[in-house]
């Protein structure tokens, strides 16, 4: 069972991306939780523990940039991942108006 956190950084400004809406769902589409990143771009989502399985985090990147008057390409960034017995899973997102990247954090 896994605890899930994320951190969104705005690479265009070099600052945390506050106010990004993030939705956690089963890969089949059933929503588990949704909330927005804090002033430091951080967020913990879901129950205290996620069961093993396939999930997706969907980041509201288009709305984030529109609120700042910045044109962007991706309306959302969806990161799919598999939980397999980990105790803590961190899924960060490095964001710019026309690209994003992610990795398995610690």
Give one DSSP letter per residue of 26-72, joined into a string. ETTS-EEEEEE--TTSEEEEEEEEEPSEEEEEEE-HHHHHHTTT---
**Residue 3 main-chain phi, psi, to 5 deg:** -100, 135
Asked if pLDDT for residue 29 goes beyond 90, the answer is no
Please report the pLDDT score of residue 47 as a whole number: 82
Contact 33, 20 (CB under 8 A): no
Please report the pLDDT score of residue 2 as a whole number: 56
Contacts for 13 with CB less than 8 Å, ≥ 6 apart: none
Please report the pLDDT score of residue 22 as a whole number: 98
Question: 51-92: per-residue pLDDT in tens?
Answer: 899 999 999 999 999 999 999 999 999 999 999 887 789 999
Please report the pLDDT score of residue 88 as a whole number: 86
| Nearest to 52, CA basis, from 23, 22, 87, 18 | 87
């Amino acid at each position: 069972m896994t605890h899930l956190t994320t951190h969104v950084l705005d690479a265009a400004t070099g600052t945390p991306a506050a106010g990004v809406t993030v939705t956690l769902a089963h890969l089949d589409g059933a929503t588990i939780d949704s909330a927005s990143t804090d002033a430091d771009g951080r967020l913990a989502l879901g129950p205290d523990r996620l069961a093993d399985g396939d999930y997706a985090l969907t980041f509201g990147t288009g709305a984030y940039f529109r609120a700042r008057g910045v044109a962007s390409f991706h309306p959302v960034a969806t990161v799919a991942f598999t939980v397999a017995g980990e105790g803590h899973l961190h899924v960060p997102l490095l964001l710019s108006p026309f690209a994003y990247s992610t990795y398995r954090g610690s």
